[in-house]
Amino acid sequence: MHSSALVACLAQETCTIPGMEAALELDAIDRRILRALQQDGRVTYDALAAEAGLSSSAVLRRVRRLEEAGVIASYVALVPPERVGLGLTAYINVRLEKQTDNPLRNPRDLFRAAVQTWPEVVECAALTGEMDYLLRVLVQDMQHYARFIGDTLLMHPSVQDCKTSFVLERLKNTTAVPV
């Protein structure tokens, strides 16, 4: 799939392999725009222009370029979980089985697919070290956590065991990356 894309694109002038785009060069103005939009995704182009020292149409063109390059992936509304009744956050380290009963489906693929279907899992990363995966899970309370662990996570054939840490306090939590 990737190799065919590579072949196809070597035959042309420009080349864009998914996930391997060249790192877009960002000047000082681009960075100011990104910082502002990461703080307020609905800031007007006039306000952006004033901050960047450009006209709004010039800013608009830069924003479009950043969007098309994937530097700006999306615009979203942020909802604090505790405001919608999700008062308990857990980080769960998960270790997978080495193999499952069905040799055709390995634990990793099974787990990857399952994680996508579990709405309480908002973050999942494969990690170096002893435990295979780290999950961030949002639940209403301890009872819902117990149900997620007992009925969902540990019941899954790909999962060997897990270790949980609960969030006592959130000191910092930003979607803004430093640019």
Question: Which positions touch a copy of itself (CB under 8 A)?
Answer: 23-24, 26, 34, 37-42, 69-81, 83-86, 89, 91, 112, 115-116, 119-129, 131, 133-134, 138, 165-179
Burial of 84 (0-12, 13-18, 19+ CB in 10 A): exposed
Report the SS3 class of residue 111: helix
Residue at token pair 């000082």: 28
40 vs 151, beta carbon nearer a copy of itself: 40
Tell me which residues touch DNA (CB under 7 A): 29, 42, 44-46, 49, 54-58, 60-62
44 binds, among DNA, a copy of itself, none (CB under 5 to 8 A by kind): DNA
Residue 62 neighbours by CB under 8 Å, 6+ apart: 29, 30, 33, 54
- Cα–chain center distance at 59: 27
Cα(132)–Cα(143) distance, integer angstroms:
25
Contact partner at residue 167 from DNA, a copy of itself, none, CB < 5 to 8 Å by partner kind: a copy of itself
**Closest approach of Cβ 105 to a copy of itself, in Å?**
16
Nearest approach, Cβ of residue 47 and DNA (Å): 8
Minimum distance between the CB of residue 146 and a copy of itself, rounded to whole angstroms? Answer: 15
Q: For a copy of itself, give the closer residue by CB, 53 or 70.
A: 70
72 contact choice in DNA, a copy of itself, none (CB below 5 to 8 Å, kind-dependent): a copy of itself
Give the separation between CA 69 and CA 162, rounded to whole angstroms. Answer: 38
- Nearest CA to 120 out of 133, 137, 103, 132 is that of 137
Smallest separation (angstroms) from a copy of itself to the CB of 58: 18
